[in-house]
Amino acid sequence: MMRNGFTLIEVMLVIMIMVVIAAMTLPSALDQDGTAADAAARLLESDLEHAQLLALSRPDQRIGLAVDADGYGWRIVDADDPLVALHDAVDSTASTRELAVRCGEGRARVASEAQIDPAGEMIVFDPLGGLEIPSGTDRTLAIQRGAAMRVVSVNPETGFISLQIP
């Protein structure tokens, strides 16, 4: 005898699988504030590490990361000229790119409306990768969008950069 269609058990099994998948993906899809804050924090963490590596490779230059005055972006700078972002290129044949980020634009497009606090802050690395002026406590930058908050910290002595979700 030839079988046409699906059994009730097969249909129920497929529906249950779809419900489980939806239950796992729906909360993350609805948490746009958390997603934007995560994206901004991870980009900021990456750019702090990039600034740190530039400080290690350019010991004659004071390299830092400056948060924009409005708190919606940052740039990797020469600390002696903090209003101008440095330029970088992959190799000598590539065109240079400005080492600056604005939340909601370019590679930070997903991080729209994420704000960094304290605005106007500048973190300067020494030639060994630590902070230029070490203090007893970590330097922190808080990233907030809506109710979601992430904190990026830099250890002043070691330069270790960490991301926390409070």
Give the residue numbers spanning the domain of 37.
32-164
Q: Is the pLDDT of residue 1 over 80?
A: no
Query: Is 151 within the bounds of a domain?
Result: yes
Length of the chain: 166
Query: Is 114 within the bounds of a domain?
Result: yes
Query: Is 16 within the bounds of a domain?
Result: no
Q: pLDDT tens digits for 17-28? A: 999 998 888 766
How much of the chain, in percent, has pLDDT values that exceed 90?
A: 54
Query: Is 15 within the bounds of a domain?
Result: no
Average pLDDT, stretch 106-122? Answer: 91
What total of structural domains would you count in the chain?
1
CATH number at residue 154: 3.55.40.10
pTM of the model: 0.78
Query: Is 64 within the bounds of a domain?
Result: yes
Query: Is 144 within the bounds of a domain?
Result: yes
Average pLDDT, stretch 102-106? Answer: 90
Query: Is 10 within the bounds of a domain?
Result: no
Query: Is 25 within the bounds of a domain?
Result: no
